Amino acid sequence: MAVVTQGSGVSRLGGLAKTSLREQALDVLRNAVTSGEIAPGTHLVETELSAALAISRGTLREALRQLEQEGLVEPSERGRLRVRTLNASEIEEMFAVRSALEGLAAASLCRRSDRTSVVRKLQEALDALADATGSINDMVEIDLDFHRTLCALTGNSALVRSWEGIAGSIRMSIMFAGADRAMTNMSVPRHQALVDAVAVGDPDAARIAVEEHMRGAAANLVTHIDSDGSRSA
């Protein structure tokens, strides 16, 4: 196995309590990857990771398989896993899928007879974003919770599962672009437009509002990413 690059953050991950080890390992590794603590392109070394997390290599492999399914890590040469690097095209494609899912959600909510209650819950999720003062990782999770709520309020489990399937890539694209661009995308007025669109109750207008939101977010994230996934100055 290749050696993890120096400063990748693996040595600082810390051990885990001896309960639900797979789930804990998955959470720690997912957060380390999506936050950039383990940098994009880093090859993952099972011996180092299992020692850092104080778990067996079998348990570690289960967690890594899940990360691979989520699109956070990918096979490289000789079957080794590495942290995925997203290029501009991949980010744009992912946001296009996200736009389709959340556009469907917003349009569906416009047709709900209990739309007033739905709008109130969306506003509460947005207020949480407005009040957030934590780390950039915390802010990203609160932002994603707003969008998850938009999907969950439809009651469409297939839609929610599809959204959750790209949540890891969403996190990676946000963190890979850097804190400044992430904070721009988390602007409360940008999200308020989505709440207001659902409140009006026009499915087509709500879908368009989501499309504009996602198009702008993707454009902001890819402005500094070259075609090969490297960051430009």
Residue from 160, 146, 145 nearest 105 by CA: 160
For residue range 174-188, what is the model confidence (pLDDT) as tens digits?
Answer: 777 777 888 888 999
CA 141 to chain centre: 8
Q: Alpha helices, DSSP H only, in the chain? A: 21-35, 46-53, 57-69, 88-110, 115-131, 136-152, 157-165, 167-177, 179-185, 188-200, 203-222
Q: Which CATH architecture has domain 10-83?
A: Orthogonal Bundle (1.10)
What pLDDT is attached to residue 1?
45
What pLDDT is attached to residue 101?
98
Q: Whole-prediction pTM value? A: 0.75
Distances in whole angstroms, Cα of residue 88 to Cα of each of 161, 178, 229, 232: 25, 14, 6, 12
Kindly report, as residue ranges, where domains of CATH 1.10.10.10 are found in the chain. Answer: 10-83
- 76 pLDDT band, cuts 50/70/90, is confident
State the average pLDDT over residues 41-68: 92
Q: Which CATH architecture has domain 88-222?
A: Up-down Bundle (1.20)
Kindly report, as residue ranges, where domains of CATH 1.20.120.530 are found in the chain. Answer: 88-222
Distances in whole angstroms, Cα of residue 132 to Cα of each of 31, 141, 175, 193: 19, 10, 17, 19
- 72 pLDDT band, cuts 50/70/90, is confident
Two structure tokens written together for 189: 């007025």
